Amino acid sequence: MRGKISKKKCILGLTGAVSFLLFLILAFLAHGLAGRELSQTMAGRWSREGDASQISVFFSVNSGMTEDGILEFEHTIDNSLKDASVQQESENPGARLWADAYSAPGAVTISTGKTSIQATALGVGGDFFLFHPLPLVSGSYFSGSDLMQDHCIIDRDAAWQLFGSSDVAGMYVNIGGVPHMVTGVTERPKGRLEEGAGLTSTLVYVSYQTLEELGQSNGLNHYEIVMPNPVTGFAEKIVREGLAGDGKETEVIENTTRFDLIHRLKRLGQFGLRSMNGKAILYPYWENLARGYEDILSVVTLSELLFLAYALILALVLFVLWWRHKGWTLREKWRLVRDKLERLKERHWERQRQRKEKRREQPRQGFLAGREKRSGKPRAEKGLFGKDRQETALKAR
């Protein structure tokens, strides 16, 4: 009978250990997935001290947001930081407290001397590629803040269609009849999630000005900023007050913490509701990807909780079984512990007593030795019965 019980305990313990191991594996997997999307980790790249926040704002097609509206908001950021006594402490003269970017989807016609293609386009402004470090096949990025807005980045498919090569950085294409230099060629991400996010065709990155003037623009629909966040919610509050308005035509997302465990648990409680969106917002592909990872992480988190709960419940059951068959009582163990403590206490006091006696003997012996040295005579010694043996010492000499 006892053998059967022990065998059951071993099986239960093994399954509990496997369950806890699966929990650890899923936790590690969730951490890796959370850090995979570079477009959501700008705050960590901006400040390693964890005192920055990345905020994204998405505008509906009816919001009427324009580049001038973004520029007006930019002028208020420095004042808000100054009022909050947030100052630049870096010794680098070129260091900035914040950086931002905005974008608009659309389409452009790109041509060379012999070939012309119609491509999906993204008109970008600000430090867009700082937030979205695309994998480049060749060349480099451009800035939406450049004085000249005649730069573009094309993907590998467009490069092969237009030039028959992917090493085309520095070459020129025509957009709306205006020459634009190809500063870089990017590798368009491919995969099931990427295709579902909208990355299914040739994609070209141009300046916001180029898209508005020489292409077909669907309107500015996305703004993002990374800035100091000395107090939780500080950055998000500034962005909401400056751009969100009443929130009917906008959506504000705090990217920095969207993949944290707490937010994943909240998302589980909202499961099935997040797809219900009454706002006419066209999310860019990177936001669609982030939402896809949020759904995956929700499932992973639920699995984590189930495996952890099973391991903890099983550990509790095994503890109860062991407690019932332990063969001793707490009173007995307490007596043993108390006896050991008493013995340790006695040994401690005995050692303290011996040290005190040694400290008393050392000064006395030193005093008598010095006295003998000064007089040139041996010191008087007392026998076992208190008699002075100095005479005996003198006779011996």
> According to the per-residue pLDDT averaged within each range, which of 18-22, 92-96, 330-334 is highest?
18-22
Model confidence over 185-195: pLDDT tens digits?
A: 999 888 888 88
Q: How confident is the model at residue 261 (pLDDT cuts 50, 70, 90)?
A: confident
Give residue-wise pLDDT tens across range 127-162: 999 999 999 999 999 987 776 778 999 999 999 999
Name the band, by pLDDT with cuts 50, 70 and 90, for residue 82.
Answer: confident
Distances (CA, A) of 197 to 53, 118, 148, 186, 370: 25, 20, 31, 17, 95
Residues 6+ apart with CB under 8 A from 108: 118, 119, 121, 175, 176, 204, 206, 210, 211, 214, 215, 216
User: What residue spans define the domains of the chain?
Assistant: 2-28+307-323, 39-87+96-258, 330-396
- List C-alpha distances in Å: 187 to 63, 109, 121, 137, 257: 32, 20, 15, 6, 28
Q: Where are the beta strands (DSSP E) in the chain?
A: 52-59, 99-111, 116-126, 136-139, 151-155, 172-175, 178-186, 203-207, 216-217, 222-228, 250-254
Burial (0-12, 13-18, 19+ Cβ within 10 Å), 379:
middle
